[in-house]
Homo-oligomer: A and B are copies of this chain.
Amino acid sequence: MQGKDTCDIYCYDEEKVNRIQQLMTNVDLLKVAKLFKALSDENRAKIVYSLCEDDELCVCDIANIIGSTVANTSHHLRTLHKQGIVKYRREGKLVFYSLDDEHMRQLMLIGLEHVEEVKANV
């Protein structure tokens, strides 16, 4: 029934493995990984945090906030947009970015809570 003792490759609990693999077919963990990857850069985390504090910001304001070039900022915003994290609207020459939905504010909040707690435990 189970492979807890010696088997050809390694020990493993076949039942558990199968059950979880089955559950995993229902969720898109590659997409989730990509979502987190978009948030995994300090500059992009700063952008998302900024958009938690201010509803709308134009590209050059964001560039100034994160202390980077406009080209680099635009690049990062594209990455965030591809994952549905930010949206934008054009107003004349300016392009204003904002958070796409409430999920991002929640993720950032929980993330910040977590690192505060971890820091406290050290």
Contact = CB atoms under 8 A, between A and B. Distances in A.
* Interface SS majority for chain A: helix
A91 to B, nearest CB: 12
Bin the interface of chain A by size: 35 or more
Contact of A101 (B29, B53, B114): B114
A62 to B, nearest CB: 9
A95 interface: no
Interface in A1-44: 10-13, 16-17, 19-21, 23-24, 27-37, 39-42, 44
Interface of A: 10-13, 16-17, 19-21, 23-24, 27-37, 39-42, 44-46, 49-50, 53-54, 57-58, 60-61, 63-65, 70, 83-84, 101, 103-104, 106-108, 110-119, 121
